[in-house]
Structure 1
Amino acid sequence: MSSTTTANRRPLYGWLTSEAVSLTGTRVSMLALPYFVLVTTDSPVKTGLVALFEMVPLVLLKVLGGPIIDRVGARRVSITCDVGSLFVVGSIPLLYDAGLLRFGALLALVALAGALRGPGDAAKGAIVPGLVESAQVPMERATGLHATVERSATMLGAAFAGGLIAVIGAANALVVDAVSFGLSALLLAWATASMARPAATGAEGEEGDPLPYRAQLAAGWHFLRGDRVLLAIAFMVALTNMIDAAYASVLMPVWARTWGGGPAVLGLVFAVFGGFAALGAICAATWAARLPRYTTYLVTFLVCGSPRFFVLAWDNPLWTVLAIAVVSGFGSGFINPILGAVIYERIPGHLVGRVSSLITALCFALMPIGPLLGGAIISGAGLMVAMLVAGSAYFLVTMLPAVDPKWREIDVRPAVEPAEQVSEGTPAPA
């Protein structure tokens, strides 16, 4: 990181503010949409089906959008997808209030929303190295601050969603998510307009021409396939995300409706978890650069994973559920700053869009299956069995790195320069 240039932190903090707005709206949608489907259809399977229709195009477009992000620019892709999401998500409550929203139309809209969110989220991740370079801060500081924003949004969005659903209904609560996309796009456009746009340093193909799209996509996959640590992280997170998707989209709404007192208590549990996860992320942003990553990973996943499933398997009092949410939330706040820093450190600057898109796509790949499996297990064996199965699977997946010595490489902090942000509309350098 050059000491001769002046740090410009407005893009970093503006991006964080944009993410805070967008993620808060998304957290509202995360609770409002499945609860709306569950209440109107009384079907856990249909609830899982809606999640499937959103996640499949989200994952697919994350993969396919990587070369476009590297060529067109992460900033431009992010803003464009947010503007599109404003209109798509906003159509759901409008059609419902007009009496025109059939289940098939809902599936089509959530699929389109997922198709926009996939490359949009990937672009927001791909812009991070450029923001770090501009702000001249350690990578773990930036990933820790983003995790703080993400966890705070979970807390506020969950609490807000519980009240909104109770007062105006689940469908109308989606208006908040739609508006948040528009505000996010405006904030990001303003904050990053001042970012330096370095001239291209080369081209990927011969005679100054960029590689064809398919070759660019393949280059990202070849790099990821050759880095066993990044690949292991992607597959581990894919499995935990699948279980978490079942937890958030099906298991928790069914628990809230059956034992937990409805959407208000559902929002309270998520808010407590998110609040203490934000506190954990603040601690990670402050101290994670000095902590051993491998040990921290194992300890925090041990406390933030399976306990929250097991406590809900039986009819425990609410204070017990909230106590587990406190401990597991705080532990989870350390996960993303550590894994995020490892990922960005290991990817060359000109491949950030492609490789980070592939990693996040792999991380999301199994999420559509989670809600369907969760709904099927609940329908066939009941909520208690579903919670026990999910909790046991979570423990096994997150503790596998304890017996794989390759994972110890995450403790290595290579002394490399942060990747430069690719200029808008310019092919990435080789």
Structure 2
Amino acid sequence: MDLSPLRDSRDYRLLFGSGVITMFGTLISMVAIPYQMKELTGSFLAVGLVSLAEFVPMVVCGLWGGAIADALDRRKIIVLSELGLLVTSAALMINAMLPNPQVWVLYVMGAISTGIASLQRPSLEAVIQQVVKHDQQGAAAVLSSLRWNFGAIVAPALGGLLVTVFGAALAYGVDTVTFVLSLVLLWRIRSLPAAEDAAPASLESLVEGVRYAVGRKDLMGTYLVDIAAMVFAMATALFPFLADELRAPQALGLLYSAAAVGALIASITGRWAARVQRQGLGVIIAAALWGVAVASTALAPNVWVVFVCIALAGAADMISGIFRMTMWNQTIPPELRGRLAGIELLSYASGPMLGNTRASLMADLGGTRFSLGAGGLLCVGAVLALSAALPKFRGYDARTDEHALAEKARREAAATQEATA
């Protein structure tokens, strides 16, 4: 793997370390919340509605988070948001320790924590462009995926063990501790103030960002294809029920970890992805393979075949993510990077939320296997349709794209000016 971003940038190392720690605890809670909801209600719909409750705060706070990321000190936004996430995790822990945990707390704290994370995420995404060199953005995308997968393999498996053996309270407690440790690292990052002529956070600045995104069909392709893939094929809300149907409830954490196993393999072997220049076509192929893998899960006879299918889906999704992140960081002007990161958040976060709601409703109608199979096939159809409708996205090439060339020239000129000074 290309480790040059970690070697060359102190701030990237701190962000990377913080991300590893935080992701570890967050993914433990990702297992704990649906499991606790299933134990309290026994309802497909109640579990699916957790994602729906998180949708509105994600949309509103994601867009606003992008606006403030371009207008304020990004380090301050990241640190304050991390503190807020610590509080919500502690609230979930306290609720789980009660003799009669309240269902509404899961919905409310889930919504609040999603809102805070959505405020923070655009700043985290935009900071990468600032602290990593232009020609290292592809390598940074691979490393970021590796960081995510490190936690996503171990944490869900541990989370499944913690909630089934020791209860949800301990799982939330571990999440709370990880936020404390993460804050120690984030505090050491240098100040990252906005440019002197940065537009203040406002509705007008949000509209400017949306207008820029809509005007670039290649960017719209990255958003729309990912949303379609997630809405039609995301189905993690079904995992507690799928584990029961497979007569392997103890394998719940394994199912949550499966996608990350595939994604980790894709990340470790992903140096080739950083050299790909036609990322748009790569996103299309990877998203279609994600749908095929999810549809195959519906036919899997046992938990190990299900694991393999989900792992293949995770690998395809990770390759798609690497290509999308590289396109974003190599072509978007820095003065718009925060607002566009907010729009990106809507694309890769709204899809899974809506997808889990879709999966739960379809499971209520036709069962778990029907929801998985039909959703995967619908994903493939939607991706192919979008590919046909967006030729500029399909034909994107970083070697000739005007936006990629302009951003590369700007970064080189800035580096030369800094060296001269």
- Corresponding residue SS for 1:334: helix
Is the counterpart of residue 217 in structure 1 residue 202 in structure 2? no
CA drift at 1:228: 1.1
Output the amino acid matched with 1:167: V
CA drift at 1:84: 0.7
CA drift at 1:370: 2.6
Larger helix proportion, structure 1 or 2?
2
Change (3 A) 1:285 1:401: farther
CA drift at 1:315: 5.6
CA drift at 1:211: 4.7
TM-score w.r.t. length of structure 1: 0.85
Corresponding residue of 1:165? 163
1:363-402 to 2 correspondences below 5 Å: 363-402=348-387
Higher relative contact order (CA 8 A, sep 6+): 1
Corresponding residue of 2:286? 300
Q: Per-residue CA shift, 1:281-320, capped at 9, x if unaligned?
A: 1222455224643454344334333323332x24612332
1:236 aligned residue (225, 233, 240):
225
CA drift at 1:212: 6.1
Q: Per-residue CA shift, 1:355-387, capped at 9, x if unaligned?
A: 111222243334443333222222222222211
Corresponding residue of 2:328? 343
Q: Is the 8 A contact 1:74 1:353 kept in 2?
A: no
Output the amino acid matched with 2:54: E
Provide the C-alpha distance between the structure 1 equivalents of 2:289 and 2:372, rounded to a whole number of angstroms.
Answer: 16
Aligned-residue RMSD, C-alpha? 2.5
Provide the C-alpha distance between the structure 1 equivalents of 2:39 and 2:226, rounded to a whole number of angstroms.
Answer: 30
Change (3 A) 1:284 1:400: farther
Q: Per-residue CA shift, 1:119-154, capped at 9, x if unaligned?
A: 112221121101214xx7511011110011112221
Q: Is the 8 A contact 1:147 1:333 kept in 2?
A: yes
Is the counterpart of residue 357 in structure 1 residue 342 in structure 2? yes
Corresponding residue of 1:248? 236
Output the amino acid matched with 1:187: L
- Corresponding residue SS for 2:301: coil
Provide the C-alpha distance between the structure 1 equivalents of 2:67 and 2:281, rounded to a whole number of angstroms.
Answer: 35
Please identify, of 142-151 and 407-416, the stretch whose mean Cα deviation from structure 2 is larger: 407-416
Q: Is the 8 A contact 1:307 1:324 kept in 2?
A: yes
Provide the C-alpha distance between the structure 1 equivalents of 2:336 and 2:90, rounded to a whole number of angstroms.
Answer: 34
Q: Is the 8 A contact 1:58 1:118 kept in 2?
A: yes
Please identify, of 358-367 and 10-19, the stretch whose mean Cα deviation from structure 2 is larger: 358-367
Provide the C-alpha distance between the structure 2 equivalents of 1:183 and 1:286, rounded to a whole number of angstroms.
Answer: 33
- Corresponding residue SS for 1:127: helix
Change (3 A) 1:374 1:301: closer
CA drift at 1:243: 3.8
Change (3 A) 1:37 1:199: closer
CA drift at 1:248: 1.0
Change (3 A) 1:304 1:376: closer
Provide the C-alpha distance between the structure 2 equivalents of 1:167 and 1:314, rounded to a whole number of angstroms.
Answer: 30
CA drift at 1:86: 0.5
Corresponding residue of 2:152? 154
Output the amino acid matched with 1:172: L
Change (3 A) 1:296 1:234: closer
Change (3 A) 1:419 1:11: farther
Corresponding residue of 1:425? none
Output the amino acid matched with 1:54: E
1:188 aligned residue (186, 189, 206):
186
Provide the C-alpha distance between the structure 2 equivalents of 1:256 and 1:418, rounded to a whole number of angstroms.
Answer: 52
- Corresponding residue SS for 1:412: coil
Provide the C-alpha distance between the structure 1 equivalents of 2:365 and 2:48, rounded to a whole number of angstroms.
Answer: 14
Output the amino acid matched with 2:163: I
Is the counterpart of residue 89 in structure 1 residue 78 in structure 2? no
Corresponding residue of 2:32? 32
Q: Is the 8 A contact 1:401 1:407 kept in 2?
A: no
Q: Which runs of 5+ in 1 are unaligned?
A: 1-6, 205-209, 421-430
CA drift at 1:419: 7.9
Corresponding residue of 2:173? 175
Provide the C-alpha distance between the structure 2 equivalents of 1:116 and 1:176, rounded to a whole number of angstroms.
Answer: 19
Q: Per-residue CA shift, 1:25-78, capped at 9, x if unaligned?
A: 221122111111012110111111122112321222001222211111222111
Change (3 A) 1:316 1:20: same
Provide the C-alpha distance between the structure 1 equivalents of 2:116 and 2:225, rounded to a whole number of angstroms.
Answer: 25
Is the counterpart of residue 203 in structure 1 residue 190 in structure 2? no
Q: Is the 8 A contact 1:284 1:333 kept in 2?
A: no
Identity of aligned residues (%): 21
Change (3 A) 1:295 1:199: closer
